[in-house]
Amino acid sequence: MLNLVVCLKQVPMVTELPWDEESGTLRRDLAAGMMNPACKHALEAALQIKEKFTAKITVITMGPPASEEVLREALALGADEAILVCDRLLAGSDTFATSLVLKEAIKKKCPKFDLILCGAYTADSETAQVGPQLAEELDLPAAAYVEKLEISGKTLRVRRLVDNFRETLEMEFPALVTISMENYKPRYTGMAGLKDAFDEKAVMVLNARALGLTASSIKTKGSRTKVRRVFLRKAQKGNVLLQGAASNVVNEFLDKYQRKIGTVIGKSIEGKKLDDEK
Amino acid sequence: MQLNPCAKHKLVRDSVRHFAETELAPIAAEIDRTATFPRAVIEKMRPLNYFGLQVPKEFGGAALDSVSSAIIVEELSRVCAAIGLCVTVHNGVAVYPFLKFATSEQKKHYLPKLARGEYIGAFSLTEANAGSDSASVETTAVKTKNEYILNGTKIFVTNGGICDLALIFALTGFEPGKPQSSVFIVESKYAGFLRGELENLCGMRANPVSSLFLEDCCVPEKNLLGKIGDGMKIGLTTLDNGRIGVAAQALGIAQGAFEAAVKYAKERQQFKKPIASLQTIQNYIAEMATEIAAARLLLYRACTLKDEGAPFGCEASMAKLYCSTVASKVTSLAVQIHGGYGYSKEYDVERYFRDAKVTEIYEGTSEIQRMVIARSVLSQLIF
Amino acid sequence: MTKNKQKSIWVFGDYRNYYQNRVTLQLIARAVALAKIINAEVCALIFGYEIDEWIMEYTAHGADRILAIDDPALKSYSTEKYLAIIEALAKERDPEIILIGATDFGREFAPRLAKRLKTGLSADCVGLDITEDGLLLQIAPSFGGNMLAEIVTERHRPQMATVRPGTFKEIPHDYERKAVVERLPLMKGLPKPRVRLIEYERSVEKGHTIENASVIVCGGRGMGNKEKFKKLQELARLLGGDVGATRPVVYAGWAEHGALVGQAGKHIKPKLLFSFGISGAIQHTAGLGEADFIIAVNKNPQATMMKMADVAIAADASDVVNHLIKELKKRIKE
């Protein structure tokens, strides 16, 4: 049986995230959470492996209590076990600390894993670093941005596109991959999995102490980076508004910007409307 | 009763919303315009267990609670009421009577097929001269050796055009002044089961509502649901549950129209500012929001009572009456806020407006709901 | 290590293709500016086989020192080999800063390197600055690019960042420039890589990608329906550009996933971006950070996309597309 671990993250639904102009911070508290899209693709990849081979899927996340929601969603989709690592001591962890904590949890609860799957990047911070750093922590062969997985025996073959190079890589289990959003389109959550996903015992919660981490060890082994401030990117433009019937605005637009467009596309565009009827 | 949505109900809502916005939103206007039942989408809904919402796991269902079930219908209807209708009729009034009244043989035979959506169900009480008065049906069922021969005409059958199975109410007792109706499980493949033309209706146009004709339709004896003469009981019990479904549907329509109206009010500029900044529009929005919230609480209360095994008929009627009233009012205001555009088929609120009206009519008109509620209140001993 | 040793800023030489290589040159340029402030040297790392061309290039573009390992064993890129090499070099030489281009390769490789060196790393920076006492200020996008975060690695060295291509301008080449070129032998006892490269080819289908297209015609749900959306292809052909799409459109099946622009899809940087029937949800606009000139068409003049645009056309998107096609056919002279 294959032992699969999928790392998940809950991210805010960004459209709903308001910016507080006065304090200059994000109103994270107002945002609903969702499973990070790339993580959902990683889970889908695991589910497809499970359909083909016998496999057990353990999903794991680190975050505030509310991030249990993504574990329940994963259970509803077909994951078998769920682990939530949750502790105030771990709040504000950077990728260095997060990958350390995930390693401890995996070593404690599923040390016999064959393959770890992560999303290639998260929608909120987009660092794409936790996967590779977790591979480093566990000293695993790894591949990022994986589009397609094939398994035969204990060998994993992956296809991916990096910097315009199409690569096929092979490695032996145990290994780690981060999954891109090209393939593995996530399935819909079926109604049948929802009830059991909310079985109280379905999610195991671990705190820092359970992982052998204390306030002082987190300080020395934990985050390396610090966010000094977050600010809004200025993107206001000098805006020209054209209104009216479509045919008129199109002509007005082309008359006004014919040179700009012509330069970019490398062709010349007539400045004035041609009166070819006459 | 939990007043804030629990994590499960949030996930149920998110899951269905994602499906509805991805699969139904792109086609909702089109299937309404062409009155087409979207079979391809139904195929996608089958494996997701949308047709076995409250069927126990042993029969292949999702075994969900009633609040979840209501949320599902609400979210489908928020995007496409005709599909919400298909799902709620199937689950609420075609499958539900099986759960309540079927023999274990009947359950074993039919529930898995229904839960998988292999069979889409319909509930067939209404006739030209019988609506909420289930006692006055004219379709007859005459027993032969080991069959019943059904004859009669059913009208306004939701899912009628596509159903694989219908629960048919027919007279089995003919004592004058004491009509006795009974309920039969009739598969569409039985000889003598014929469908009429699809109805040309104001709203819910993508649902294939039709007449059904029973012409010497032979139904095996074992397909009697409940006992002879149980028609009234089964009808009333089922309608109580069906009303929760219609309430959920009405609520979803109201929610969809409300969101469209708020979005439009923030975008639409008049007098150089969004109309949402005008007090009149704000009053509308406040009223809509409040009434939708109240309707939702009333609906979930009925669901919770049902799950607790308590009587919920009166509460279901209250929820149905109120949610449908709110739906009609909110969709009308949503059109109003959209102005001339709202009256155009370019905008979704025109469809919501048409879809909402029928929620005040079917599964017992608002007048019938008032009757049910009043009867329940007047019968209480505390007064 | 001596106390007054020469401080050093390292730039990883990511030379595999032209586009990647430009990032390295851009980083050398930025490193030169930073090095002045803290009085350091700029050191470029080049590992590969037959790498003289890059030694020359990086010297000409501003590097003070080159650490080069030229060995047939390094003929193709290898995360595992590079990790071992840089780990050994960094432990020996103790650089202040390591900068790596935020290419696909860099973003896979840098996190492992940072972990191995037990130091911090910021991702995909769009700005770098430095304090006089040598603290690297790393400006990284956050929340899909609409927010920026200023990140520092206070107590650990080296300070590491991956930097988005195009953030800095390279220094014009000067082939007279000189640099100290240290040609090092490949270390003994490097671990045998556990990831085997089976096939490796320059992707043909992605030779021209939407990411580097100079004209992009993007459509959203406001285009109306699939047939109307397909018209964008004709317009894109006339303009020599590519078609992009928003998430709802991709989910509705009007466009392929490869056309998805935004947070979950491609980040684009066209000189001209036409945006049709797109409201401007952040999931989409997150991918537009580097568009030069935006023309937005939407019925609703208040849509976010319209506010972001240089030219906002308040009209039905599909109508405008049809008229643009008609007019451009008349007006474009080959």
CATH number (domain holding residue C286): 3.40.50.1220
Residues 315-334, chain B: which have Cβ within 8 Å of C? none
Mutation to test the C interface, candidates B31, B266, B267, B269, most C Cβ within 10 Å: B267
Q: Are residues C165 and C47 in the same domain?
A: yes
- Which residues have CB under 8 Å from A143's CB, separation 6+? A158, A160, A169, A171, A175, A176, A177, A178, C195
The segment with the largest mean pLDDT, out of B7-11, C135-139, C263-267, is C135-139
Asked if residue C194 is part of any domain, the answer here is: no
Residue in B74, B127, B350, B363 annotated catalytic: B363
Q: What is the pLDDT of residue C203?
A: 67
For chain B, say whether A253 makes contact (Cβ under 8 Å): no
Task: Determine whether the interchain pair B8/A198 forms a contact, defined as Cβ–Cβ distance below 8 Å.
Answer: yes
For chain C, say whether A272 makes contact (Cβ under 8 Å): no
Asked if residue C190 is part of any domain, the answer here is: no
Q: What is the pLDDT of residue C322?
A: 93
Residue pairs spanning B and C at CB distance below 8 A: 16
Q: Are residues C219 and C178 in the same domain?
A: no
The topology (CATH level 3) of A2-221 is: Rossmann fold (3.40.50)
Question: For residue C169, what are the CA distances in angstroms to C13, C23, C32, C308?
Answer: 16, 9, 12, 25
Residue C39 burial (CB < 10 Å; 0-12/13-18/19+)?
Answer: exposed
Residues of chain B whose pLDDT is less than 70? 1-5, 179
Higher per-residue confidence, C159 vs A221 = C159
- Which residues have CB under 8 Å from B188's CB, separation 6+? B163, B164, B165, B166, B195
Residue C55, pLDDT above cutoff 90:
yes
Q: What is the pLDDT of residue A240?
A: 83
Pairing of strands A81-85, A55-62: parallel
3-state SS string for chain A: CEEEEEEECEEECHHHCCEECCCCEECHHHCCEEECHHHHHHHHHHHHHHHHCCEEEEEEEECCHHHHHHHHHHHHHCCCEEEEECCHHHCCCCHHHHHHHHHHHHHHHCCCCCEEEEECCCCCCCCCCHHHHHHHHHCCCEEEEEEEEEEECCEEEEEEEECCEEEEEEEECCEEEEECCCCCCCCCCCHHHHHHHCCHHHEEEECCHHHCCCHHHHHHHCCCCEEEEEEECCCCCCCEEEECCHHHHHHHHHHHHHHHHHHHHCCEECCCCCCCCC
CATH number (domain holding residue C144): 3.40.50.620
Q: Are residues C154 and C35 in the same domain?
A: yes
Residue C295, pLDDT above cutoff 80:
yes
Q: What is the pLDDT of residue A177?
A: 98
Domain boundary, last residue among C183, C199, C226: C183
Q: Are residues C139 and C26 in the same domain?
A: yes
Q: Are residues C176 and C51 in the same domain?
A: yes
Task: Determine whether the interchain pair A163/C17 forms a contact, defined as Cβ–Cβ distance below 8 Å.
Answer: yes
Asked if residue C199 is part of any domain, the answer here is: no
Domain spans of chain A? 2-221, 236-278
CATH architecture for residues B233-378: Up-down Bundle (1.20)
Q: Enumerate the residues of chain C whose CB falls inside 8 A of the CB of residue B340.
A: none
Q: What is the pLDDT of residue C208?
A: 52
Task: Determine whether the interchain pair A192/B49 forms a contact, defined as Cβ–Cβ distance below 8 Å.
Answer: yes
Q: What is the pLDDT of residue C209?
A: 73
Residue C207, pLDDT above cutoff 50:
no
Residue in chain B nearest C316 by alpha carbon: B346
Q: Over range C77-102, report the average pLDDT.
A: 94
Residue pairs spanning A and B at CB distance below 8 A: 59
pLDDT tens digits, residue range A208-247? 999 999 988 888 888 999 988 887 665 555 678 888 888 8
Q: What is the pLDDT of residue A31?
A: 67
For chain B, say whether C301 makes contact (Cβ under 8 Å): yes
Question: For residue B83, what are the CA distances in angstroms to A19, B87, B205, B257, C40?
Answer: 37, 6, 10, 16, 68
Across chain B, mean pLDDT equals: 94
Q: Are residues C171 and C258 in the same domain?
A: no
Task: Determine whether the interchain pair B267/C303 forms a contact, defined as Cβ–Cβ distance below 8 Å.
Answer: yes
Residue A53 neighbours by CB distance under 10 Å: 11
Q: Are residues C146 and C290 in the same domain?
A: no
Q: Are residues C160 and C29 in the same domain?
A: yes
Task: Determine whether the interchain pair B267/C252 forms a contact, defined as Cβ–Cβ distance below 8 Å.
Answer: no
Q: Over range C200-206, report the average pLDDT.
A: 67
Pairing of strands A155-162, A165-172: antiparallel
Q: Collapse the DSSP code of B122 into the 3-class scheme (helix H, G, I; strand E, B; otherwise coil) and give the result.
A: strand
Residue pairs spanning A and C at CB distance below 8 A: 279
For chain C, say whether B34 makes contact (Cβ under 8 Å): no
Task: Determine whether the interchain pair A73/B61 forms a contact, defined as Cβ–Cβ distance below 8 Å.
Answer: no
Q: Are residues C32 and C105 in the same domain?
A: yes
Q: What is the pLDDT of residue B33?
A: 95
Q: What is the pLDDT of residue C1?
A: 45
Nearest CA to CA, how far is A89 from chain C (Å)? 19
The segment with the largest mean pLDDT, out of A251-265, B171-185, C90-104, C268-282, is C90-104
Asked if residue C200 is part of any domain, the answer here is: no
The topology (CATH level 3) of B7-120 is: Butyryl-Coa Dehydrogenase, subunit A; domain 1 (1.10.540)
Q: Enumerate the residues of chain C whose CB falls inside 8 A of the CB of residue A228.
A: 137, 150-152
Q: Is B363 a catalytic residue?
A: yes
For chain A, say whether B254 makes contact (Cβ under 8 Å): no
Q: Any idea what the Cα angle at residue C54 is, between residues A136 and C208, rounded to 5°?
A: 75
ipTM score for this prediction:
0.87
Residues of chain A whose pLDDT is less than 50? 15-16, 274, 276-278
Q: Which residues are bridge partners to C127 per DSSP?
A: C139
Q: Are residues C130 and C266 in the same domain?
A: no
Q: What is the pLDDT of residue C270?
A: 87
Nearest to A195 among B14, B62, B72 (CB): B62
pLDDT tens digits, residue range C73-89? 999 888 999 999 999 99
pTM of the model: 0.84
Domain spans of chain B? 7-120, 122-231, 233-378
Q: Enumerate the residues of chain C whose CB falls inside 8 A of the CB of residue A265.
A: 215, 239-241, 272
Q: Are residues C243 and C165 in the same domain?
A: no
Q: Over range C109-119, report the average pLDDT.
A: 96
Q: Are residues C83 and C147 in the same domain?
A: yes
Please count the structural domains in chain C. 2
Task: Determine whether the interchain pair B64/A190 forms a contact, defined as Cβ–Cβ distance below 8 Å.
Answer: no
Q: Which CATH class for the B122-231 domain?
A: mainly beta
Q: What is the pLDDT of residue B99?
A: 97
Say how far apart CA A52 and CA B84 lie, in whole Å.
34
For chain C, say whether B192 makes contact (Cβ under 8 Å): no
Nearest CA to CA, how far is A66 from chain B (Å)? 9
Higher per-residue confidence, C40 vs C263 = C40
Task: Determine whether the interchain pair A237/C323 forms a contact, defined as Cβ–Cβ distance below 8 Å.
Answer: no
Q: What is the pLDDT of residue A10?
A: 92
| Chain C touching partners, 3 or more CB pairs below 8 A | A, B
Nearest to C302 among B21, B25, B269 (CB): B269
| Domain range enclosing C274 | 210-331
Q: What is the pLDDT of residue B292?
A: 98
